[in-house]
Structure 1
Amino acid sequence: MRKEIANYIELIIRIGINIQKGQILVVSAPVETFEFTRKVVETAYKFGAKEVVVNWVDEVCGKYRYIYGADEIFDNYPKYQADMMKDYAKKGAAFLSIYATDPEILKDVDQERVARAQKARSIALKGYYEKAMNNEVQWCVVSIPTDAWSKKIYPELQGEKAKEKLWNQILSIVRADSENPVEEWNKHLTNLKNTMNYLNSMKFRKLRYRNSLGTDLEIGLPKGHIWTAGGETSKDGVYFVANMPTEEVFTLPKKDEVNGIVYSSKPFCYGGNLIENFYLKFKDGKVVEAGAEKGEETLIKFLDSDDGAKYLGEVALVPYDSPISNSNTVFYNTLFDENASCHLALGQAYPVCLEGGSEMNEEELKENGVNISMVHEDFMVGTSDLEIIGITEDGEEILIMKDGNFCK
C-alpha cells in the first residue's frame, strides 16, 4: 500500500473518528473498497478499538432491487438495520462512512421508487440521525476512488489511469501526501477555528448573497446562532472531524427568513442522479419555485420528501481559493464539491448550531426557527465572483466575502 494511502487511513482513525481505547467502530463501505476498508479495520484495532463492525453495501445490487423488486418493498426499511444503528449509538460507538458511488448509478430507474425508499430509510433511521446531528456520537465521512466514479470525472482516461489520477487528487486534498499529515491537519483546523471565532464575534442578523449567475438571496440568522468549523466535540468530550476533507465554516439559518433566488454552481448528486444548473426561489423561507436544466424531476421529488425539505437547514462559507476548488475538478461527490464552494443545505438543521439547541426537543427547536426534516442535502452556490454581506443587529453592512473569498 502506498505510504500516502496509509497516511490517509491513519488520519481517518486518529483525526476524523479519533477512536478511543475500548470503543466500537461501525463502518459502512461499498464492496468495491474492500482492500482499503480492511486496512481501516486493522488500523482502528491498532489504535485501540474494541470491535470494528463493517456493513457492506453494493450499489449495483441496489440498482437491481429498484428495477426488479416488488413495488411494496420501497415503503419499508429493514427494522433490524435501524435497530442495529440505534443500538450501537447507545453503546457509544463511532461511525465511519466510506462514501464512494457512481454519480449516475440510478439514472435509468423509477425515481418514484427511489424517493419512497429514501423516505422510508430516513424515517427508520431518525433516531440515529438525531444523535449524529447533535454530535452525541463521533462520525466521519470520507471517500476513495472507485472505477465508475473515476471514469465519470476523467472520461478521457482509461481504467486504472483515471483511478490513479483521482487517488492523487484525494491524497493531496486531504493532506495525506505531506511530510507530517497530522501536524498539517492540526494547523488547518486552527485556521478554520480562527474564521469561526470571527464570525461568531460579529453576531450577524442576516447574510446577503449576490453573483453573476443571478443569485440574489437574503438569509436570516436566528438569535443565538453558532458558527462551527473543522472539528466537533461529542457528548463524551471527544474531538472529531465529521468530514475529511473539510474547508467550511457553517451555521443554521432562521427557517422562515430566507428570501430571493439562488442558482447552483455545481451539479448536485442525489439518489444516484445528477441535477444540473438548477435554481431555487424562496419566500419566507420556503422554496416556492424550482427548475433545472437536467434532473428537474429528481429535484422536485426531493423537495417533496417532507415539508422541511423545502426550507434551508445549513449555511456554509468556503473560500473559492481552496485546495479542492483550485484542482479545477467537478467531483460529482457532495463531500468534495461542497468543500470547494460556499454551499447551502435543504432540510434538517444542526441543533448544535444554536445556543442550547442540543438540549431542546423538536417543538422547542421549531419555536426557535430551526428547520426540522427527514433529509439534509448540500448544494453548491459559490463562484469566483460571489459577494456575501453580513448585516448586524443595528443594520451595519460588513463585507464578509468578495470574489468568492473571505475579506478577513
Structure 2
Amino acid sequence: MLRAMSKTFEEKLREYARVLVGTGVGLKAGGKLLINAPIDAVPLVREMVAEAYRTGALDVRVDWRDDQLERLRYTEGSREAALFIPEWVMEQAERMVDDGYARIGIRGDDPNLLAGVDGQLIAERTKRGAELSRKVSAAISGHTVDWTLGAMSTPAWARSVYPDLPEAEGVARLWEDIFTVSRINEADPAAAWQAHTDRLARLSAYLNEQQFDAVHFRSAEGTDLTVGLADGHIWDGGAMTGPTGTRTVPNMPTDEVFTAPHRDRVDGVAVASKPLSVHGTLVSGIRMRFEGGRAVEATAETGQDTLQQLLATDEGAARLGEVALVPASAPVAQTGSLFNMTLFDENAASHIAMGRCYSTNVQGGSDEQALTAAGGNRSLIHVDWMIGSPTTDVDGLTRDGNRIPLMRQGEWVVDAAN
C-alpha cells in the first residue's frame, strides 16, 4: 500500500474523523449518530460531527465524559452514590438504539484511573450498570446497531504508554501510533481499510469452511490451551454488515478473526502475554487453568483482587465467550508499545475473552435458546485478555482427530492469509 505524502496533524485528524464516520459506522444521508468521547477529544469530535453533517446526517449527539468525575464518585461520594445509576439514563440509551442511532465510542482512558479505589465497590457498580444496560449491550454484541470504537491521545493515557517521555512528546507519539494503526498514514485510508478487511474476510471464510472442532494454543510463555468451539460457530472479523445493510468496521484498529467457544469445552492453561486494564486497574501476569470450560484456578501478579471480582460477576464470567486469532506482526504489535488498552493490545496478540459471547458468532444465535444449545456463553461481562506472542503456535483440530497448522511463531501459515 502506498504511503501518502507528508500530512499535517490537522489533515490526519480530519481523515481520521472521515474514516470513523464513513468506514467505521458507514453513516449515510439521513442517518443519526451518537458519539461518546472524553472532554479532551473536542477537536476530533468536532471533525466527526462536521463529517457526519456533510454526509447528510439528520442528527448528531455527543455524550461527553470526564473520567476524573468517575473517580470522584468513589473517593468523595457515599456508598449509595457510588452504586446509584438513574434508570432514565438507560432508558434514553435504549430509545436511541430503537431509533437507529449509530454509535462511535472514542477511548483515551487512564489505565490506572481507579487505582486505590475499593475494588469490590467498583465491581458492584459495574455489575449494576451491566444489568441495567442488557438491551443496549445485546444490540451492540448482536450488531443490530451500527457501531465502532476509535481512540484519541490523552495526557493520562500517554503517560501510561510512554512514561519516560515529556508529556507533550508522549501525547504526540501516541497520536502518531493511532494514525499508523488506523491506516491514516496511507495515501488512501478508506481504500487501505477496504483491502485489509477483505483479507480478514478471506481468513474468516477459510476457517468457516473448515468448521474445526477446537483450536489449540501453545506458547513458550506457558500457554497450553484447547478451546472447543460452539456448534455451528461462525468466524468473523474486520468488516460486518449492520442493520442498515451498510458495511461497518466495529473496531479501529482491528486485526482479529474471532468466534464463539463452547462454554463447556475449554481445557488447559492460559498465560497472559500482556497486562489487562479492567475497572481502572492494571492486572498483569494472569494465569488461568480451565477444566470443562470453567476457570478453576486464576492468579495474577498484580490486580489479583480485581481479577477475582471480575470472575465472580456471575455464573458465565469464569467461562469463555470469544477466541480470537491475531498475527504477531499486526500494526499495533509493530509499534513495539504496550498500550494498556484492550482496543489496541487485543489487536497485537491472539486473545480470549471471559464472559458473554457474540450472538453473531453462532448460526441462529439471535435466538437465545439456540445460542445456549450450541454452547454459547451468557454473562454480564465480556473482557478480552491477550495470550498470543511471537512464540505462539495455533492448530485447528478436526472432529476426526487431525491437526491443521493455522499459526506458527505467531504468524498465519494458511493460504487464505495472502
| Alignment TM-score, normalising by the size of structure 1 | 0.98
1:375 aligns with 2:348: no
1:11 aligned partner: 19
Percent identity for Structure 1 against Structure 2 = 33
Select the residue among 394, 403, 413 that pairs with 1:397. 403
Distance 1:172 1:364 in 2: 41
Q: What is the DSSP-based 3-state SS (H/G/I as helix, E as strand, rest coil) of the residue aligned with 2:231?
A: coil
Q: What is the DSSP-based 3-state SS (H/G/I as helix, E as strand, rest coil) of the residue aligned with 1:242?
A: coil
**Conservation of the 8 A alpha-carbon contact between 1:29 and 1:98:** yes
1:193 aligns with 2:194: no
2:5 aligned partner: none
**Conservation of the 8 A alpha-carbon contact between 1:74 and 1:116:** no
Displacement of 1:364: 3.1
Instruction: List alignment gaps of at least 5 residues for structure 1.
Output: none
**Conservation of the 8 A alpha-carbon contact between 2:13 and 2:47:** no
Select the residue among 106, 128, 141 that pairs with 2:114. 106
Instruction: List alignment gaps of at least 5 residues for structure 2.
Output: 1-8
Deviations, residues 22-60 of structure 1 (Å, cap 9, x unaligned):
111011111121221122111111112111111111111
1:387 aligns with 2:387: no
| Equivalent position amino acid for 2:409 in 1 | D
Deviations, residues 165-205 of structure 1 (Å, cap 9, x unaligned):
11111101111011111111111111111111111111100
Displacement of 1:353: 0.6
Distance 1:135 1:29 in 2: 21
| Equivalent position amino acid for 2:255 in 1 | E
**Conservation of the 8 A alpha-carbon contact between 2:73 and 2:82:** no
Select the residue among 71, 93, 100 that pairs with 1:85. 93
| Equivalent position amino acid for 1:377 in 2 | V
Deviations, residues 313-343 of structure 1 (Å, cap 9, x unaligned):
0010000111111111100010000000001
Alignment of 1:331-370 (within 5 A): 331-358=339-366, 360-361=367-368, 363-370=369-376
**Conservation of the 8 A alpha-carbon contact between 2:396 and 2:405:** yes
Q: What is the DSSP-based 3-state SS (H/G/I as helix, E as strand, rest coil) of the residue aligned with 1:344?
A: strand
Alignment of 1:8-407 (within 5 A): 8-358=16-366, 360-361=367-368, 363-407=369-413
| Equivalent position amino acid for 1:376 in 2 | H
| Equivalent position amino acid for 2:337 in 1 | T
Q: What is the DSSP-based 3-state SS (H/G/I as helix, E as strand, rest coil) of the residue aligned with 1:383?
A: coil
Distance 1:54 1:107 in 2: 28
**Conservation of the 8 A alpha-carbon contact between 2:33 and 2:59:** yes
| Equivalent position amino acid for 2:45 in 1 | T
**Conservation of the 8 A alpha-carbon contact between 1:308 and 1:347:** yes
Q: What is the DSSP-based 3-state SS (H/G/I as helix, E as strand, rest coil) of the residue aligned with 2:339?
A: coil
Q: What is the DSSP-based 3-state SS (H/G/I as helix, E as strand, rest coil) of the residue aligned with 2:46?
A: helix
Displacement of 1:237: 1.3
Q: What is the DSSP-based 3-state SS (H/G/I as helix, E as strand, rest coil) of the residue aligned with 1:339?
A: coil
| Equivalent position amino acid for 2:229 in 1 | L
**Conservation of the 8 A alpha-carbon contact between 1:76 and 1:121:** no
**4+ residue segments displaced more than 4 Å:** none
Deviations, residues 58-83 of structure 1 (Å, cap 9, x unaligned):
11111011111111233332212101
Q: What is the DSSP-based 3-state SS (H/G/I as helix, E as strand, rest coil) of the residue aligned with 2:262?
A: coil
Distance 1:276 1:227 in 2: 28
Q: What is the DSSP-based 3-state SS (H/G/I as helix, E as strand, rest coil) of the residue aligned with 1:156?
A: coil
Q: Quick check: 231-240 or 149-158, which moved more?
A: 231-240
**Conservation of the 8 A alpha-carbon contact between 2:231 and 2:375:** no
Displacement of 1:300: 0.5
How many pairs align? 406
Displacement of 1:235: 2.5
Displacement of 1:160: 1.1
Distance 1:31 1:199 in 2: 41
Distance 2:169 2:15 in 1: 22
Distance 2:273 2:257 in 1: 18
Deviations, residues 267-312 of structure 1 (Å, cap 9, x unaligned):
1000110000111111111111110111111111111111111000
**Conservation of the 8 A alpha-carbon contact between 2:109 and 2:157:** yes
Displacement of 1:151: 1.1
Q: What is the DSSP-based 3-state SS (H/G/I as helix, E as strand, rest coil) of the residue aligned with 2:254?
A: coil
| Alignment TM-score, normalising by the size of structure 2 | 0.95
Distance 2:256 2:138 in 1: 21
